[in-house]
Structure 1
Amino acid sequence: MILFIKLLLAHLLGDFIWQPNSWVADKEAKKHKSIYLYLHILLHGVLAAILAGEIQFIPYAILIAVTHGIIDLIKLNFQENKTKRIWFLADQILHLIVLAGITILYQNKSINLDWFDNRFWILVTGILLITKPTSIFIKIIISIWSPESSTTDSDHSLANAGNYIGILERLFVFCFILTGHFEAIGFLLAAKSIFRFGDLKEAKDRKLTEYVLIGTLLSFGIAILTGFIVQALLLQLL
C-alpha cells in the first residue's frame, strides 16, 4: 500500500504541481512533436524512481514513464474541446490503473529505504491531492455549467482568488477531519456562505448561485472524503 501512495505522490507532482500550463498548451498544439511531452515523461520516471527509494525499482519507473507517455499521446491525439473533460478523467483513471499494476508486480519486493515514517507519505499525498489536482478536477467537472455572469465580474476580483480560497478551505477541512473537530467544518461552511451571500444577492442570478453551490459542495465533499481516507490509513499503521 505504501508503495502505491508514493507512486501516487509522484504522479500528482509530475502531472499537476510541476507541470506548467505552458507545457500543457505546447503538448496540445504540437502533440508528439512537443519537447515538453518528453520532459513530462522523463519527470514522471525520475519522480517514481526517487520516491520508491530503491535501485531495483528503476526498471519499473521506466515502465511507468513509458506507459504514461503512451496514455498521454492517446489523449492528445483523440481529445477535442468538447471531450476534454472525458479524456481528462479517462487519462487519470488509466494512470492510476498502471500505478496499481506496478505496485502489484513489485509487491513481492520490499522497499528498504524509508526516508520518513509511512504516515508522512500518506499525509503528504492527501494534502497534495486536495490542492491543485482537486482545483483542476472541480474546474473541469463544473465547466459545462459556467454562467455568463461569472465572467462579467472578473475585473472586480483578485487574480486566481477563487482557486486559492478553494485550496485553503479544503486544507482547513482536511485538518479538521484529522483532528476530530467536525463542528469547525460547519462553522467554515457557514462563514463562506455569509461572505458569498452578498455577491449572490446582488447578482440576482440563479444559475450563478447554483454554480457556486455545486463548486462549494464538491470542494468540501472531496476534502472530507480525503480526510476520512487518510485518517483510516493512518489508523491502520497504529
Structure 2
Amino acid sequence: MMLFIKLLLAHLIGDFLLQPNRWVIHKEANKIASKYLYLHILLHFVVTMVLLWDFDYWKLALIIAISHYFIDLGKLYSNSLFRNKAIPFFIDQLLHIIVLYACAYYGNLIGQTMFLMALIDWHLVTAIVFVSFPSAIIMGKLLEGMSNKIELDHKSLPNAGKYIGIIERLFVLLFIILGRWEAIGLLITAKSVFRFNDLKESNNRKLTEYILIGTLLSFGIAMITGIIYTNS
C-alpha cells in the first residue's frame, strides 16, 4: 500500500503542483512537438525516484514515465473529439491511476484486486448511487406536473438544480452515516438562506412552493436511504 501511495503522491505533484498552466497550453497547441511534454515526463520520473528513494525502482519509474507520455499524448490528440473537456481529463487521470496501481501491485495484481473487492461495502455503494441520479430522475417524475406550471429562469445554469440536489442528498446521507443529524438542520438552513433572496425577488408563490416541496422531498429521500443503510 505504501508503494502505491508514494506513486500516487508523485503523480499528484508532477501533474498538478509542478505543471504550470502555460505548459498545458503549450502542449495542447503543439502536441507531440511541445518541449514541455517531454519536460513534464522527465519531471514525473525524477519526482517518482525522489519519493521512492531507492535506485532499484528505476525500471518502475521508467515504465510509469513512458506510460504517462503515451496517455498524455492520447489525451492531446483526442481532446477535439469531446465537447465536454472534463471527459478526456478524467479519462486521462483514471488511466494514470490504473498504471500506478498495476505497477505497485504487479507481483500480486489479481490477489490485491480481489482483496480490495472484498472490502467494498455494497450496501453503501447502492445507497450512494440511489441518492444521486436515480433519485434525481424519480424527483423529476414526481414534480413533473408542478414544474410545467413554473416559469423557467433562463439565467440559471443548465441542470444546476439537479446537481445541487444530488450534492445535498450525498451530504445528508454522509451526515446520517456519521450520526450527525444536527448537520442536516444546518444544511437546510444554509440552503434556505441562499434561496431567500431569489424567492424574495421573484415574488412567485408557485416557485416558492415548488422549491419547498422539492427540498423536502430531496432531503426525505436521502434520510430514508440513510436510515435503511444504517439499519441494514
Q: Normalising by structure 2, what TM-score? A: 0.51
Q: Please report how far the alpha carbon of residue 93 of structure 1 lies from its aligned counterpart in structure 2 after TM superposition.
A: 1.3
Per the TM alignment, residue 47 of structure 1 is displaced from its structure 2 partner at its CA by 1.4
- Residue type of the partner of 2:195? F
Deviation at 1:90, TM superposition (A): 1.6
Matched, 1:65 2:65: yes
User: CA separation in 2, counterparts of 1:20 and 1:75?
Assistant: 18
SS of residue in 2 equivalent to 1:74: helix
Is residue 29 of structure 1 aligned with residue 41 of structure 2?
A: no
Which residue is 2:105 aligned to? 104
C-alpha distance after superposition, 1:147-177 (max 9, x if no partner):
97479xxxxxxxxxxxxxxxxxxxxx9xxx9
Counterpart in the other structure of 1:45: 45
* Residue 199 (structure 1) shift: 5.7
- Compute the RMSD of aligned alpha carbons: 3.6
Paired position in structure 1 for 2:191? 193
Find the aligned partners of 2:185 and 2:17 in 1 and give their Cα distance: 30
- Higher RCO (CA < 8 A, seq sep 6+): 1
State the identity %: 40
Aligned counterpart, 2:92: 91
Question: Where in structure 2 are the equivalents of 1:112-127 lying within 5 Å?
Answer: none
Question: Which runs of no fewer than 5 residues in structure 2 stay unpaired?
Answer: 109-152, 158-170, 212-232
**Equivalent position of 1:54 in the other structure:** 54
Give the Cα–Cα distance (whole angstroms) in 2 for the partners of residues 45 and 149 of structure 1.
47
Supply the AA of the counterpart residue of 1:71: I
Aligned residues: 145
**Residue number in structure 2 paired with 1:79:** 79
The change in CA–CA distance for 1:82 and 1:181 in structure 2 (over 3 A counts) is same
Distance 1:94 1:201, change over 3 A: same
Aligned residue for 1:99, secondary structure, equals helix
Structure 1: state its 5+ residue gaps.
Answer: 108-146, 152-172, 211-238
Distance change (3 Å), C-alpha of 1:70 and 1:188: farther
State the alpha-carbon separation in 2 of the partners of residues 32 and 202 from structure 1: 54
Question: 1:16 maps to which residue?
Answer: 16
